[in-house]
C-alpha cells in the first residue's frame, strides 16, 4: 500500500522541535544558523503560516512564512523556509507544501507570496520558475552575508527575490502544466546571453553578451552548481560573478525571469533562465 503524506497547519508547540531537526537534516545547518522553534511558533501564532507534511504521524517537511506589507505588493506572505528531510526528497512533497501555502493565502484573500532562492541552483530554479510560475526581476547581492551551512559556506549568498502572483493567469497556466515551448529558439545563439564551453566535464563561461536585441533571452547556468562548489570553489565564484553581472544588467533594462527550462536534447542537460519584458503578471 502506498503511504499517504498528510499536510496540515502546525498548531502544537510540542512538535516544533521537529522543525529544528529538519533544518539540520535538510540543509546541514550548524547551531548558529538554526531558526529556533519559539521564533517560528511566535510568527505562526501572530498570523503567519506553518504547514507540516506528515508521513505515518511523523513530520518530514514543512513550509514557513509570515505576513509582510511593501509597496507595490500590498499585503503578502513572505515564505522563508520550505524543507523536506533527505530521505523523502524528490517525491513532490516540497512542491505540494507550496501548493498548500498557496491555498492558505488564497483563503485569506492574499494574492502574492514572495521568497528568495539561489539563481545558480537549477533544481530550485526549475521548481520555482517553471513548475510554480514565480517571476523574478530583483537581484540581491550577498543577501544573507556569510552563511555557515554545508550548502552555502565559502560562496557569496546572492539571491533572486521572486514574486509568486498566486491567482494570476501565468501561475494558473503553470499549475495546469500549460508551458511555453522554447525548443524552436533554444539553439539560436542570438538569444543566449552567456556563451559557454564544456571541456573535461567542466562548464565554463566563455563570453557575456550585454546587447541582445531579442524579446526572449536565455541565461545558462550549470546543472549541478553544488557539485562545482564542492570540487572547485574558484570556478563556482566565477559563475556567481558572471551570472550576477548578466542578470542585473538585463533586470536594469526591464527584463524579468519568467521561466526556467531544461534542454534534455543534449548530454549533459543544459539549464537556462528565460528572460522577457512583461507588461503584467497575466502573461
For residue 150, pLDDT over 80 is answered with no
Assess whether 163 and 202 both reside in one domain: no
Assess whether 209 and 97 both reside in one domain: no
β-bridge mates for residue 69, sequence order = 75
For residue 283, pLDDT over 70 is answered with no
> pLDDT-based confidence at 203, cuts 50/70/90?
very high
For residue 145, pLDDT over 80 is answered with yes
pLDDT tens for each residue of 235-282: 999 999 999 999 999 999 999 999 999 999 998 899 999 999 998 766
Assigned domain for 183 exists: no
Assigned domain for 281 exists: no
Between 32 and 102, the higher pLDDT residue:
102
Of the three residues 175, 199, 217, the one that is the final residue of a domain is 175
Assigned domain for 181 exists: no
Assigned domain for 184 exists: no
| pLDDT score for 281 | 66
Neighbours of 252 (CB within 10 A): 10
Assess whether 122 and 261 both reside in one domain: no
Of the three residues 175, 205, 226, the one that is the final residue of a domain is 175
Assigned domain for 222 exists: yes
Between 153 and 219, the higher pLDDT residue:
219
Average pLDDT over residues 4-26: 97
pTM for this structure?
Answer: 0.94
Assigned domain for 237 exists: yes
> According to the 3-state scheme, what is the secondary structure of 162-220?
EEEECCCHHHHHHHCCCCCCCCCCCCCHHHECEEEEEECCEEEEEEECCCCCCCEEEEE
| pLDDT score for 147 | 65
Assigned domain for 143 exists: yes
Assess whether 65 and 170 both reside in one domain: yes
Of the three residues 146, 175, 204, the one that is the final residue of a domain is 175
What's the grid cell of residue 168?
494570476
Assess whether 14 and 128 both reside in one domain: yes
Assess whether 251 and 116 both reside in one domain: no
The CATH number for 168's domain is 3.40.630.30
pLDDT tens for each residue of 50-79: 999 999 999 999 999 999 998 888 999 999
> pLDDT-based confidence at 191, cuts 50/70/90?
very high
Distance CA 19, CA 43 (A): 14
Kindly report the average pLDDT of the chain as a whole number.
Answer: 94
For residue 99, pLDDT over 60 is answered with yes
Assess whether 13 and 85 both reside in one domain: yes
Task: Give the number of domains in the chain.
Answer: 2
Assess whether 130 and 207 both reside in one domain: no
Kindly give, in sequence order, each residue whose CB lies less than 8 Å from that of residue 84, ignoring residues fewer than 6 positions away: 22, 26, 53, 60, 61, 91, 93, 94, 97
For residue 1, pLDDT over 50 is answered with no
Assess whether 79 and 202 both reside in one domain: no
* Domain enclosing residue 238, as ranges: 189-276
Nearest to 254 by CA among 229, 231, 230, 279: 279
| pLDDT score for 2 | 61
Assess whether 89 and 216 both reside in one domain: no
Assigned domain for 282 exists: no
| pLDDT score for 201 | 79
Assess whether 171 and 193 both reside in one domain: no
Assess whether 233 and 141 both reside in one domain: no
Amino acid at each position: 500500500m502506498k503511504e499517504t503524506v498528510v499536510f496540515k497547519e502546525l498548531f502544537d508547540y510540542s512538535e516544533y522541535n521537529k522543525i529544528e531537526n529538519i533544518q539540520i537534516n535538510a540543509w546541514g545547518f550548524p547551531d548558529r544558523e538554526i531558526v529556533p522553534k519559539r521564533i517560528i511558533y511566535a510568527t505562526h501564532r501572530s498570523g503567519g503560516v506553518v504547514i507540516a507534511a506528515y508521513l505515518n504521524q511523523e513530520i518530514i517537511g514543512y513550509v514557513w512564512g509570515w505576513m509582510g506589507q511593501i509597496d507595490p505588493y500590498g499585503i503578502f506572505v513572505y515564505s522563508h523556509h520550505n524543507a523536506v528531510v533527505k530521505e523523502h526528497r524528490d517525491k513532490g512533497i516540497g512542491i505540494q507544501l507550496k501548493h498548500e501555502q498557496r491555498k492558505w493565502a488564497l483563503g485569506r484573500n492574499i494574492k502574492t507570496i514572495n521568497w528568495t532562492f539561489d539563481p545558480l541552483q537549477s533544481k530550485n530554479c526549475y521548481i520555482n520558475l517553471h513548475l510554480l510560475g514565480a517571476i523574478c526581476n530583483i537581484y540581491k547581492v550577498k543577501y544573507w552575508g556569510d552563511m555557515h551551512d554545508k550548502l552555502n559556506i565559502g560562496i557569496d549568498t546572492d539571491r533572486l527575490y521572486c514574486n509568486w502572483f498566486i491567482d494570476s493567469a501565468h501561475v494558473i497556466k503553470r499549475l495546469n502544466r500549460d508551458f511555453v515551448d522554447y525548443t524552436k529558439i533554444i539553439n539560436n545563439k542570438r538569444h543566449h546571453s552567456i556563451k559557454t564551453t564544456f571541456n573535461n566535464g567542466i562548464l565554463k563561461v566563455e563570453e557575456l553578451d550585454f546587447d541582445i536585441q531579442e524579446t526572449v533571452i536565455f541565461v545558462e547556468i550549470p546543472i549541478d552548481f553544488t557539485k562545482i562548489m564542492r570540487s572547485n570553489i574558484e570556478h563556482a565564484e566565477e559563475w556567481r560573478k558572471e551570472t550576477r553581472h548578466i542578470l542585473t544588467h538585463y533586470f536594469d533594462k526591464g527584463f524579468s525571469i519568467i521561466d526556467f527550462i531544461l534542454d534534455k536534447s543534449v548530454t549533459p542537460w543544459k539549464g537556462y533562465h528565460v528572460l522577457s519584458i512583461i507588461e503584467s503578471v497575466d502573461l
